[in-house]
Amino acid sequence: MRSTFSAQTDSLSMLKEAVKSNCTGIRYGIEFCEWKLPNQKALEDAYNLINHKNKDFTYITPRVSDNSLEKIRGHLDFLNKMGKNSVVVNDLSIINILEQYPNVKPILGRQLIYTPARCPWKQTTEYQVSFLTRRRVEKIFHMTNLNYEPTIRFFQNLGVNHVDIDWIPVCFQNYAFLVKNGLNVFVHLHLIPVTITRRCHTARFLKENELEDCSKPCQTRAFLLKQDIINVHLTLHGNTVFKYIEPTREEVKNLSKYNISNFIFTMNPATKIENQYQINALIDNLQNT
């Protein structure tokens, strides 16, 4: 099974680089911060650029407040008029209103999928329990909330057939359960969200006064958070703290045996993927034939 790769970005300048690359699809929008939602014109420009290059278009939405929800309604109106489109949904309120937009199909976002193995502290803590108890705990730790059939049925009844999952190799075998139960799985490379805040840490550190008027320093900067005593290194980008894992070709190939071959990489300062040449190098390095 040949792998496919899609670029994810909230930047029109990076999107213009992605459309010139060998990726098969492009995701445009915001996964985590509602204050960076694109305006209507930016969305329409992104859609037209991607459509002109015959690449798959997906719109990304974050968890939102009521004020942002009204803005997203305008985006959904546009996408619904353009024909069949997909939107990544990280808020149940958006799933609920999608019934008003029959041409727009949801992809369940990572903020609605709970994965205990995202926790960066597990590797630094020894279980003070028996070996068998430890194995049972680890088995649960490496599952998601979708490793439970009633949860899958709940989301499928809301029209969800595609889901976004983290790149966590110890969890891969549990992703097969999702495919077996009728879900199409997209796996995000590199960045695993550890914690997310509405009140942005980056803005606070850089003394941005109002999030509504934030200068968006995350468009050009990310920060390394180091705790050498327990050997945990994390990345702060915007309002989200990530754990970074470098994927390998062998791991990408191994996922194909679970019928998973769709991979997402993010273009931003945290991944340092910013142009078509870096995209093509990444795909060449990970592509299995």
Residues 6+ apart with CB under 8 A from 135: none
How far, in Å, CA of 15 to CA of 88, rounded?
A: 17
Residues 146 and 172: beta-carbon distance below 8 Å: no
Residue 15: the pLDDT is 97
CATH number for the domain whose boundaries are 4-190+248-286: 3.20.20.70
Residue 141, CA distances (Å) to 81, 107, 183, 193 in order: 42, 24, 21, 16
Residue 13: the pLDDT is 95
Residue 131: the pLDDT is 53
Produce one character per residue of 43-80: b if its CB has 16 or more CB atoms within 10 Å, e if not.
bebbbebbeeeebebbbbbbbbeeebeeebeebbeebb
Residue 124: the pLDDT is 45
Residue 226: the pLDDT is 84
Could you read off the pLDDT tens digit of each residue along the chain, which spans 289 residues? 788 999 999 999 999 999 999 999 999 999 999 999 999 999 999 999 999 999 999 999 999 988 889 899 999 999 999 999 999 999 999 999 999 999 999 999 999 999 988 887 655 445 555 555 566 667 778 899 999 999 999 999 999 999 999 999 989 999 999 999 999 999 999 999 999 987 888 888 888 878 778 888 999 999 999 877 667 889 999 999 999 999 999 999 999 889 999 999 999 999 999 999 999 999 999 986 5
Residue 134: the pLDDT is 60
Residue 108, CA distances (Å) to 86, 91, 94, 165 in order: 10, 9, 11, 9
Domains of the chain, by residue range, sit at 4-190+248-286
Residue 197: the pLDDT is 85
pTM: 0.91
The number of beta carbons lying within 10 Å of the beta carbon of residue 114 is 12
